[in-house]
Structure 1
Amino acid sequence: MIQLFTRRCWLISVSMLFGLLPLSVEAKTAVERGRYIFDLAGCQGCHTREEGELLAGGRELDTPFGRFYTPNITPDTQTGIGSWSRTQFEQAVRKGLSPEGEHYYPVFPYTSYTAINDRDIDDLWAYLQTVPAVSRANQEHELPWPFRWRFLMLFWKWLFFDEGPRPVESGKSEEYQRGAYIARALGHCGECHTPRDFLGAMQLELEFAGTSSGPEGGVIPNITPDQETGIGRWSEGDVDSLLVMGMLPDADFVGAGMGEVVDNSTAALTDSDRQALIRFLREIPPVRRRVGGEPD
């Protein structure tokens, strides 16, 4: 635990030293802003396999529907996205469509990314042009019948995919709205923390209420402000410590997937964005739901 704490403190210190925790995102250039969006969106964790080159793909994602391998999103023109246009990139992120018009599986969280605004798409695209190009062919997913039939995603989208930003919640502060944008769009927190039905669609009536069948089969906790089953008893400082260094209220540290999210994403939040996310998580409706086999 001490080693993990030391590592995370070191990452935070180095990030601050080199400007990866910007004091003002607005003051940065498009590429610098894009790096910030890149961090918040968690691109590195999903598109970089263990011991692999940055964003060259190949990370395995085991799901109830089969095993997926993330693609190469470096600027390589043959095996990455170097031949894509900015419009094709936006189409992939917001609509889940490849340049050839094929439907992406929702293991790629375009169901959340669809709400990312124009400027953040532009900035992220600008940053991705600056990463080193890596020649690495994408791997075929290992999916059983009928999930290997990609055209079925057209019907899945018709049933479950709502393109575009979510409606602004009336009566909420700008800080809350910013936190909602971070949690629901850029950070796509609900993709892991919201349970899914038998067809893999998020059950939004249980948004952020946790699941016993998370990525890689892990238990994902309830992060609504319910006093008994969520994080309603946590202080703002508790949530802040989790987002900055992965430390829980009992002084233990998160591991596995959430540890990556902290190291690669939430530790990079500006102070104002972190406070906005905390406010959002404390003001969403509490949901009484235990996960991990515990009785309700």
Structure 2
Amino acid sequence: MKRKSLFALSAVVVVAAAALVPVLWSGGDNLHNGTAMAATPADQAALIKKGEYLARAGDCIACHTVRGGKQFAGGLPMATPFGTMFTPNITPDDQYGIGKWTQDDFYRAMHTGRSKDGSLLYPGFPFTSYTKVTRADSDAIYAYLRSVTPVNVPSRPHELKFPFNQRNMLIGWRTLFFREGEYTADPTKSVEWNRGAYLIEGLGHCGMCHTSINAMGGPVSSAAFAGGLIPLQNWYAPSLTSNKEAGLGDWETKDIADLLKTGVSNRGAVFGPMAEVVHNSLQYMSDEDINAMATYLKTIPQKSEAPEPLQLETSEKFGGELLKQGQKIYADNCAKCHAENGLGMPPSFPPLANNQSIQMPSAVNPIRMVLNGGYPPSTEANPHPYGMPPFAQALSNTEVAAVVTYIRMSWGNHGTAVSPQQVSDLRSAPLD
């Protein structure tokens, strides 16, 4: 999925991250379409509170705060095949942050993907989704971000190779893959459904991970939400449109809502990049909005399939040998939590039998879980989640391949055998 094309750079840089555009501060009265509007302290406090909630929904802290660093001060490195990008300081600091941006600048960046000076923003910042955000919500986010503590730290310039450091090259990409416009409600659907669609397609920008990328770094629109490998992170975002993967057609709406809000449900748990989304963003959303998102996700058409990822195949004979070896490894290391019959003890220990995420054509996620382990996010509704220990030091590449083969092919599961080479390739993959 690491597409090396002229316009691919921005789409592969931070496709899994929820980056908020450089934001703005006018330093004066609120502005809307260039017109001054008086606001009482109570009005402003309510607007800031609303903006904080919406910024959570957009998960802007994920990209613009380095672990252990100052909030929104930027500096997070994003390694790409074309060089390294660094997220900017978006605190309201006049010298190094966005203190001199106006409210209109902010909306223009969200809505059109253009910076204060008119330059094109890389679509690693999801303006293709944020364009759907209403002006009122944009103004609220602006009010919140102008209220945070300024940090006097310079933004580090990107270190990109020529010609990928030429922003004007993005014109072609935008012509093909960007359609400007706020979300338009579907009058045939309920208010709840439309609210969910607005959040999923707009601030949530869920399609950026769950839609595969074509050779030019743009989304495959015919396979929206049909899954894809998250570039440079080596995690697979499963299809939401196929019950062969994580399709939600046969999920109860409550199970979808539980997974979004707490990170665990009776159908499974989230790990990897999705665990961070739940921890940073979704757990703070209201039950009404979570239910609206679940309602919308439940209705995504169960049809289009993602392009099948390239897999290293094992011979039938060697696959049989791995399956037999994996049964013993599973009994020794996994059955205590996931049970001999693979049914687990949900929601603490998810089932492996009839678990679509185990059987997907891509074996990336189960391999990474066995190698690296992990925890669902700690949320208010699930503050002490049960975790999966790492086995990278205890099991060889062949042993990991064997146990993953076993869980993909046992208890009625219809997965295929995996290769020790796949394990070797992922053993050195970054953990986040």
TM-score over 0.5 for the pair: yes
Counterpart of 1:3 in structure 2 is none
1:157 aligns with 2:174: yes
CA RMSD of aligned residues (A): 2.2
Aligned residues: 268
> TM-score with structure 1 length normalisation?
0.83
Counterpart of 2:305 in structure 1 is 289
Residues 258-269 of structure 1 correspond to what in structure 2 (within 5 A)? 258-269=274-285
Equivalent residues of 2:249, 2:299 under 8 A apart: no
Moved more, 262-271 or 231-240: 231-240
Counterpart of 2:228 in structure 1 is 211
Higher RCO, 1 or 2 (CA under 8 Å, sep at least 6)? Answer: 1
Equivalent residues of 1:61, 1:215 under 8 A apart: no
Counterpart of 2:273 in structure 1 is 257
Match of residue 134, structure 2, among 99, 105, 117? 117
Pair 1:288–1:100, CA change in 2 (3 A): closer
Q: How many Å separate the matches in 2 of 1:37 and 1:239?
A: 21
Opposite residue 59 of structure 1, the aligned amino acid is L
Q: Tell me the alpha carbon deviations over residues 233-290 of structure 1, each in whole angstroms, 9 at most, x when there is no partner.
A: 3222221221111115455x42332111101111111111111100100111113536
Q: How many Å separate the matches in 2 of 1:140 and 1:190?
A: 28
Q: Which has the larger radius of gyration?
A: 2
1:277 aligns with 2:293: yes
Q: How many Å separate the matches in 1 of 2:160 and 2:253?
A: 42
Match of residue 235, structure 1, among 252, 261, 264? 252
Opposite residue 236 of structure 2, the aligned amino acid is V
Q: How many Å separate the matches in 2 of 1:278 and 1:86?
A: 32
Counterpart of 1:176 in structure 2 is 193
Q: Tell me the alpha carbon deviations over residues 44-103 of structure 1, each in whole angstroms, 9 at most, x when there is no partner.
A: 111111111100111123345543221111001111111111011111111111111111
Moved more, 281-290 or 40-49: 281-290
Pair 1:111–1:120, CA change in 2 (3 A): same
Counterpart of 1:99 in structure 2 is 116
Opposite residue 273 of structure 2, the aligned amino acid is G
Shift of 1:212: 1.7
Counterpart of 2:47 in structure 1 is 30
Match of residue 140, structure 1, among 131, 139, 157? 157
Opposite residue 71 of structure 1, the aligned amino acid is P
Counterpart of 1:90 in structure 2 is 107
Q: How many Å separate the matches in 1 of 2:81 and 2:240?
A: 23
Q: How many Å separate the matches in 2 of 1:134 and 1:122?
A: 22
Q: How many Å separate the matches in 2 of 1:65 and 1:277?
A: 35
1:108 aligns with 2:149: no
Counterpart of 1:9 in structure 2 is none
Q: How many Å separate the matches in 2 of 1:64 and 1:276?
A: 38
> Structure 1: which 5+ residue stretches go unaligned?
1-25
> Which consecutive segments of 4 or more residues in structure 1 shift more than 4 A?
63-66, 290-294
Instruction: Name the SS for the 1:275 alignment partner.
Output: helix
Shift of 1:42: 0.8
Counterpart of 2:90 in structure 1 is 73
> Structure 2: which 5+ residue stretches go unaligned?
1-42, 312-359, 363-432
Q: How many Å separate the matches in 1 of 2:77 and 2:297?
A: 30
Q: Tell me the alpha carbon deviations over residues 182-231 of structure 1, each in whole angstroms, 9 at most, x when there is no partner.
A: 0000111111111111222111221111102346232111123x322223
1:53 aligns with 2:70: yes
Instruction: Name the SS for the 2:52 alignment partner.
Output: helix
Opposite residue 261 of structure 2, the aligned amino acid is V
Say which structure is richer in helix: 1
Counterpart of 1:197 in structure 2 is 214
Equivalent residues of 2:251, 2:298 under 8 A apart: no
Equivalent residues of 1:214, 1:220 under 8 A apart: no
Counterpart of 2:343 in structure 1 is none
Equivalent residues of 2:211, 2:228 under 8 A apart: yes
Q: How many Å separate the matches in 2 of 1:66 and 1:223?
A: 32
1:246 aligns with 2:263: yes
Counterpart of 1:14 in structure 2 is none
Q: How many Å separate the matches in 2 of 1:143 and 1:200?
A: 17
Q: How many Å separate the matches in 2 of 1:135 and 1:223?
A: 42
Instruction: Name the SS for the 1:216 alignment partner.
Output: coil
Moved more, 229-238 or 58-67: 58-67
